[in-house]
């Protein structure tokens, strides 16, 4: 165990466990997604409302009817897109989130096509969608190779003139970052039900804008390991990658409300066209 903790974790390697699939953490993550009182696993209700106002003006349903929501979670945005008149498909890795989304849609008689799967691995089809969204900075979890692979898949899945809209964190988010290592006893909280020793570390990988939030939960007869990756971006580097993957026109904003992007913005939102 000591050797495991001391080792240098290769960038973007996967921990042995997943917060989205863990028996205790998966329900915690679903609850966090459904709590829209503050910015947690999803953004607060007012932010979502303003985002939808801007997104539906940017890509009206009558002009962009077929919409794909990547990383749709429990369907918070998917349902709002459906209510706004779009034909919606949502893909998410979490079985628990998709089950919740499907049950909610069934109860409201919303005809939303939900699929449980890894959208990086799934076939997104060819020229099927008018708009594809990837909301709340999910892009940062991917390596540069996987990110480019996703861009190509999205480009292929969009119709000519279709738009890809996503947001990411910028360098400003981590301007005060300091590496840290902590340990504490945990019980009956977000991380665990049973008592355990929780070791965590936060680090930036030298020469990159990639950060690792690393967690080990030590129980008497088991160890859980979670790696949470995040890359932050500058607009120019993303636009260059998108152009190389076949996208043409592009617009840069400060967030999903369509505000002006500045050097102080902690997020940026890109609207790119095939």
What digits encode the pLDDT tens for the residues 132-185? 999 999 999 999 999 999 999 999 999 999 999 999 999 999 999 999 999 999
Q: Give the residue carrying structure tokens 């099927």.
A: 128
pTM: predicted TM-score of the whole model, two decimal places: 0.95
DSSP string, 55-124: HHHHS-TTTS-EEEEET-TTSHHHHHHHHTT-EEEEEES-HHHHHHHHHHHHHHT---EEEES-TTTS--
pLDDT of 7 reads 77
How far is the CA of 17 from the CAs of 182, 223, 273, in angstroms?
Answer: 20, 10, 36
- Determine the average pLDDT of the residues in 249-266: 96
pLDDT digits (tens, 9 = 90+) for 99-128: 999 999 999 999 999 999 999 999 999 999
Residue 2 clears pLDDT 90, i.e. is over it = no
In the chain, what are the domains? 10-20+173-230 (no CATH), 25-169+232-273 (3.40.50.150)
């Amino acid at each position: 165990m000591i050797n495991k903790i001391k080792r240098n974790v290769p960038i973007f390697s996967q921990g042995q466990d997943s917060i989205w699939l863990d028996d205790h953490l998966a329900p915690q993550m679903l609850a966090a997604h459904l709590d829209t009182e503050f910015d947690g696993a999803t953004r607060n209700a007012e932010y979502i409302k303003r985002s939808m106002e801007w997104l539906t003006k940017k890509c009206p349903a009558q002009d962009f009817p077929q919409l794909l929501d990547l990383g749709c979670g429990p369907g918070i945005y998917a349902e709002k897109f459906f209510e706004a008149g779009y034909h919606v498909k949502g893909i998410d890795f979490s079985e628990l989130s998709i089950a919740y989304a499907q049950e909610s849609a069934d109860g409201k008689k919303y005809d939303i096509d939900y699929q449980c799967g890894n959208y990086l691995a799934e076939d997104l089809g060819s020229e099927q969608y008018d708009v594809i969204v990837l909301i709340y900075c999910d892009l940062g979890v991917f390596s540069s190779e996987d990110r480019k692979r996703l861009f190509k898949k999205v480009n292929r899945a969009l119709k000519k003139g279709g738009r890809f809209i996503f947001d990411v964190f910028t360098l400003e988010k981590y301007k005060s970052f300091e590496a840290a290592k902590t340990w504490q006893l945990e019980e009956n909280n977000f991380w665990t039900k049973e008592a355990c020793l929780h070791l965590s570390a936060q680090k930036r990988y030298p020469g990159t804008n990639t950060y690792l939030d690393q967690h080990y939960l030590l129980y008497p007869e088991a160890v859980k390991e979670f790696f949470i990756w995040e890359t932050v971006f500058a607009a120019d580097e993303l636009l260059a990658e998108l152009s190389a993957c076949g996208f043409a026109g592009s617009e840069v904003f400060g967030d999903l409300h369509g505000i002006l992007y500045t050097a102080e913005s902690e997020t940026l939102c890109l609207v790119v066209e095939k």
